[in-house]
Amino acid sequence: MSMSILRAIEEDHRKVEDMLSSLKSTTAQEAQRRQTEFGGLQRELHAHMKGEEELLFPLLLDKESEDGDRDEILEMFEEHNLLRLWMDHMSTIEFSHPRWGAKMDVLAEVVDHHHSEEEDDIFPVAREHLDAETLEALGHRFGMVLQEA
Ligand SMILES: [Fe+2]
Ligand SMILES: [Fe+2]
């Protein structure tokens, strides 16, 4: 069964948010749990961002979209880069480090902000420029990218 890429992205946003809130509930004494869950989060987010960057965003940049919409999409690429840099930074710190929890909170805040912008600002542009059939075909391919994670 196939679903629109927008629906698939939205479902994965909720999954990532659940992973983030679980990680936020960990303590410095749970280094092993942090390591396991953070590894899972990294795999999920890297695949998710790759799927958006390869399947959806280029199509929206190609359309004769308004300058404001193009700027929004370019901003999404840069927020992805920020998330990659921050996750790489977090990977260099001990999971028992006293500041790890604060770093995790910042990661969750940036991801939440990013999800809101995609769903509120980018989804309407996609609905305007792509028909239902295209959105479903992309949804199928997005699912495959996530499975490779
Ligand atoms: Fe994104
Ligand atoms: Fe996303």
Distance from the alpha carbon of residue 144 to the mean position of ligand 2, in angstroms: 15
DSSP state of 28: T
Distance from the alpha carbon of residue 78 to the mean position of ligand 1, in angstroms: 10
Distance from the alpha carbon of residue 19 to the mean position of ligand 1, in angstroms: 16
Distance from the alpha carbon of residue 33 to the mean position of ligand 1, in angstroms: 26
pLDDT (0 to 100) of residue 149: 82
Q: Give helix 5-24 / helix 100-117 axis angle, nearest 10°.
A: 160
pLDDT (0 to 100) of residue 1: 57
> CATH fold of 5-147, please?
Four Helix Bundle (Hemerythrin (Met), subunit A) (1.20.120)
Longest dimension (CA), the chain: 53
Q: What are phi and psi of 41, to 5 degrees?
A: -60, -45
* CA gap 81, 7 in Å, rounded: 23
Q: Residue 149 in contact with residue 46, Cβ under 8 Å?
A: yes
Distance from the alpha carbon of residue 73 to the mean position of ligand 1, in angstroms: 9
Distance from the alpha carbon of residue 110 to the mean position of ligand 1, in angstroms: 11
* CA gap 6, 52 in Å, rounded: 10
What the block records as the tokens of 79 is: 């927020």
This prediction's pTM: 0.95
User: What DSSP line would sit under 43-103, residue for residue?
Assistant: HHHHHHHHHIIIIIHHHHHHS---HHHHHHHHHHHHHHHHHHHHHHHHHTS-TT-TTHHHH
Question: Would the CA dihedral through 103, 105, 111, 117 be positive or negative?
Answer: negative
User: Would you give per-residue pLDDT tens digits along the chain (149 residues)?
Assistant: 579 999 999 999 999 999 999 999 999 999 999 999 999 999 999 999 999 999 999 999 987 667 788 999 999 999 999 999 999 999 999 999 999 999 999 999 999 999 999 999 999 999 999 999 999 999 999 999 999 88
The closest alpha carbon to 75, from 114, 44, 46, belongs to: 114
Distance from the alpha carbon of residue 57 to the mean position of ligand 1, in angstroms: 9
